[in-house]
A and B are shown apart, each in its own frame.
Chain A
Amino acid sequence: MKKHETYMLEVLKYVDAPKKIKNRILEDLQDRIMASRDEDPLFDPYTVMGSPKEVASEFNSNLELDRNYYGVVIGLSGSVRSYEYKSKKTLFGIPLVHINSGGKFRNSVAKGIIAVGDISIGVVSIGGLSFGIVSMGGVGLGLLSIAGIAVGLLSIGGISLGLVSIGGIAIGMLKAIGALKYIL
């Protein structure tokens, strides 16, 4: 049984589709494999159905998904495939590390002590849009913020806004260092 589950998860790993469709596929693969096992208890999906890559490729070419994304993607990844990793170790119930990228078509949120994602929320936060004690990324908001657009107590970035700010355009309340600087 474990072999079959591994097989199905491997197929899903290579399917480029939203989670909702992947769940649908998983449901049908479970049913399909079970039907084959009813006929042959020694049913081996790898030999009968093909390698997970082949099965996934068949799904990918027939799903006819709209690959044109019309929303705003602030994500880290250029791949259509999503990726998520969540460490088993937690601190105060929050994962120590959470990496979550929705791929080319979706934005996913990472929440962890160390968070890396399209949108990230964490103590150390790295993402397209990042919120944290230390935040780094495209747009960052944090106590220490290092980002394209950085907002924080100490902010360093292309455009930075903070108590102390360093940047191309720097707006600071106490100190501003930059090509264009303005102290509030």
Chain B
Amino acid sequence: MEDFKKQFKKGVIELAILKLLSEENQYGYSIIQQINTRSREQLAIKDGTLYPILYRLEDKKFIESYWYTEDEGRSKPRKYYSLTEIGKERYLRMLKDYIEIEEGLREILQSYEVK
């Protein structure tokens, strides 16, 4: 069962990241925090999961990173990630696919009772 959850999470976490970046530009740690709190820990991720996904998305030009000094008192700027135009398209496509899959699966799960 743990394996199912792991695989399922792996599939949807990219969608969650794109969703968060569609709302606002974020730095890595903030993405981790938001995913953890907004999913009520159900999709909780660690650094070793988040960053490889961000690298793949960045390499495919769905997101881009930049350094920004938000707080003047901070010695170093923060690395922010933002969604590109093709990233927005990917997000909307993934969202549509997810909704269709979720609806289809719900139909199956609701139409039969476990004997």
* Nearest CB of B to A73, in Å: 25
User: Is the Cβ of B27 less than 8 Å from the Cβ of A31?
Assistant: yes
Residues of A contacting B: mostly: helix
Residue in A28, A38, A57, A64 whose Cβ sees the most chain B Cβ within 10 Å: A28
User: Is the Cβ of A29 less than 8 Å from the Cβ of B27?
Assistant: no
Q: Identify which of B27, B29, B52, B71 contacts A62 (C-beta below 8 A).
A: B52
User: Is the Cβ of A28 less than 8 Å from the Cβ of B46?
Assistant: no
Mask: chain B, 39-80; 1 = CB below 8 Å from A; 0 = not: 000000011110111111000000000000001001010110
Mask: chain A, 47-59; 1 = CB below 8 Å from B; 0 = not: 0011000011111
How many angstroms from the CA of A21 to the CA of B30 in the assembled complex? 22
Which residues of chain B come closer than 8 Å to A30, judged between CB atoms? 76
User: Is the Cβ of B47 less than 8 Å from the Cβ of A24?
Assistant: no
Number of chain B residues whose Cβ lies closer than 8 Å to a Cβ of chain A = 20
Number of chain A residues whose Cβ lies closer than 8 Å to a Cβ of chain B = 25
From 8 to 27 in chain B, residues with beta carbon under 8 angstroms from any chain A beta carbon are 27
User: Is the Cβ of B52 less than 8 Å from the Cβ of A63?
Assistant: yes
How many angstroms from the CA of A27 to the CA of B47 in the assembled complex? 13
- Check A31/B49 contact, CB under 8 A, given A21-B55, A24-B55, A38-B74: no
* Nearest CB of A to B80, in Å: 10
* Nearest CB of A to B48, in Å: 2
Which residues of chain A come closer than 8 Å to B49, judged between CB atoms? 58, 62
Which residues of chain A come closer than 8 Å to B27, judged between CB atoms? 31, 35
Which residues of chain A come closer than 8 Å to B78, judged between CB atoms? 31, 34-35
Q: Identify which of A32, A36, A58, A64 contacts B56 (C-beta below 8 A).
A: A64
Residues of B contacting A: mostly: helix
* Nearest CB of B to A91, in Å: 39
How many angstroms from the CA of A31 to the CA of B46 in the assembled complex? 15
How many angstroms from the CA of A50 to the CA of B79 in the assembled complex? 22
How many angstroms from the CA of A63 to the CA of B32 in the assembled complex? 17
* Nearest CB of A to B15, in Å: 16
How many angstroms from the CA of A61 to the CA of B46 in the assembled complex? 12
Is there a chain B Cβ closer than 8 Å to A25's Cβ?
yes
User: Is the Cβ of B74 less than 8 Å from the Cβ of A62?
Assistant: no
Residue in A35, A49, A56, A63 whose Cβ sees the most chain B Cβ within 10 Å: A35
Given contacts A38-B71, A38-B74, A58-B49, 4 further A-B contacts (CB under 8 A): A25-B51, A28-B51, A29-B47, A55-B47
Which 6 A/B pairs are nearest by Cβ-Cβ distance? A58-B48, A35-B29, A62-B52, A59-B48, A31-B79, A63-B52
Residues of B within 8 A of A (CB): 27-30, 32, 46-49, 51-56, 71, 74, 76, 78-79
Residues of A within 8 A of B (CB): 21, 24-25, 27-32, 34-36, 38, 49-50, 55-64
